[in-house]
Amino acid sequence: MKVNFFNSGSPLFPFRWFILITLLTVGTLTYANLTGWRIFSGGQEQWKASGPGGHK
């Protein structure tokens, strides 16, 4: 099996974008879970003593 799924000869070629989306999503979920990031979370305000505040 050809590992490079962006190669048109690979049997995974039709799933190339799906595999990419899945890998990005798994990466995002892992990062979010490990850092306590609540994805698409609004309403949390952050103010830094060192400069202008902002919304995270």
Binding-site member from 1, 47, 52, 54 for another protein (CB under 8 A): 47
Nearer to another protein, 3 or 45 (CB): 45
Q: What is the CA radius of gyration of the chain?
A: 19
Which residues in the 27-46 window bind another protein by CB under 8 A? 28-30, 32-41, 43-46
CA angle 45/49/51 to nearest 5° reads: 85
Nearest CA to 15 out of 27, 2, 28, 29 is that of 2
Q: Which positions lie near another protein, rule CB under 8 A?
A: 14-15, 17-18, 21-22, 25-26, 28-30, 32-41, 43-50, 56
